[in-house]
Amino acid sequence: MRLATIRTGGGTAAVRIDGDRAVELGVPDLSALFAYADWRQRAQAAGATRPVDSLDYATLLPRPGKTFCVGLNYRNHILETGRELPEYPTLFAKFPATLIGAHDEIALPVEDDRMDWEAELGVVIGSAMRRVSAADAAAGIAGYTVVNDISAREFQNRTIEWLQGKIFEGTTPVGPHLVTADEFDGSAGEITCEVNGEVMQQSDISDLLFKPAELVSYISTIITLQPGDLIVSGTPGGVGNARKPPRYLNDGDVVVTRVGGLGECRNTCRRDG
């Protein structure tokens, strides 16, 4: 199944994508849908429909309880930074105000002119998990989506902690769809990022050092993962900050983030502030 959260005249609605129609599921968003233990059955219910080409996508999970991001998780990206392969995942967090829809404008803050792209695979949790094995973790993944972890490199590199460069408001596209784990298992698929039609990143998610189920298992050792939580699994090589000379995003740039089998986020950058 393909699921999404859309904006409507009365707020937002969770929908199932059936070809060229979107079927409303009777809840305001996917975060609300995943709160039900039987969310898979509810997601198959009938409801009012609207044409897909009219949809205004909100961020996929408007109120995730937790958003964990993973740094340095593609072998080619680790090598381009000159680092050794890590023994454990590098984790940081995001907050709801950072997340935007698949077609929303990316806010480029006036405080940092080194805004960079990071195409990533998003992993959405479908059931509560605490101290689970990787094998059991796979069964608790609801599905996968597309994310771009737009990063403020000047702020990120002010200290050894990355958080301040990763949470600028209105910078992280998520969506447009969640594809359930029975249709996409997160093991392979081309991942790309284009800026103004030029390919900046091109890899395959099979290059992930820590795979989705391993990430879920590791994070569940630290804290209970709940339905609707989001894990952003890391980016491949080709980021602007590692280029010679470096390249960054500017007002009016169009960023397209794709994962084969999941879809794309297409966002225009606008200077904010």
- Per residue in 136-187, pLDDT (tens digit) is 999 999 999 999 999 999 999 999 999 999 999 999 999 999 999 999 999 9
Please tell me the predicted confidence (pLDDT) of residue 199.
98
Place of tokens 């995001």: 94
Rounded to whole angstroms, how far apart are CA atoms 256 and 174? 12
Q: pLDDT tens digits for 175-224? A: 999 999 999 999 999 999 999 999 999 999 999 999 999 999 999 999 99
State residue 76's pLDDT score. Answer: 77
More confident residue, 9 or 77: 9
Predicted TM-score (pTM) of the model is 0.96
Task: Give 3-state DSSP helix, strand, coil % of the chain, rounded to 5.
Answer: 20, 40, 45
**pLDDT tens per residue across span 163-173:** 999 999 999 99
Give residue-wise pLDDT tens across range 230-249. Answer: 999 999 999 999 999 999 99
Distance CA 128, CA 139 (A): 11
Q: pLDDT tens-digit profile of 16-50?
A: 999 999 999 999 999 999 999 999 999 999 899 99
Q: For the chain, first and last CA: distance in Å?
A: 39
> How many Å apart are CA 187 and CA 211, to the nearest integer?
8
User: What is residue 119's predicted lDDT score, i.e. its pLDDT?
Assistant: 98
* Rounded Cα gap, residues 113 and 111, in angstroms: 7
Coil vs helix vs strand at 75: helix
* Nearest-angstrom CA–CA distance, 252 and 248: 12
Residue 273, pLDDT > 80, answer no
Summarize pLDDT for 60-96 with one digit per residue, the tens. Answer: 999 999 999 998 898 877 777 777 888 999 999 999 9
CATH number of 1-58: 2.30.30
Report the CATH fold assignment for 61-272. Fumarylacetoacetate hydrolase; domain 2 (3.90.850)
Return the domain boundaries, the chain.
1-58, 61-272
For residue 107, what are the β-bridge partners? 270
**CB-based contacts of 87: which residues, under 8 Å, 6+ apart?**
none
Dihedral angle, C-alpha 79, 210, 85, 192, nearest 10 °: 10
**β-pairing verdict for 230-232 and 115-116:** unpaired
- Is residue 106 scored above 80 in pLDDT? yes
The pLDDT score that the predictor gives to residue 23 is 98
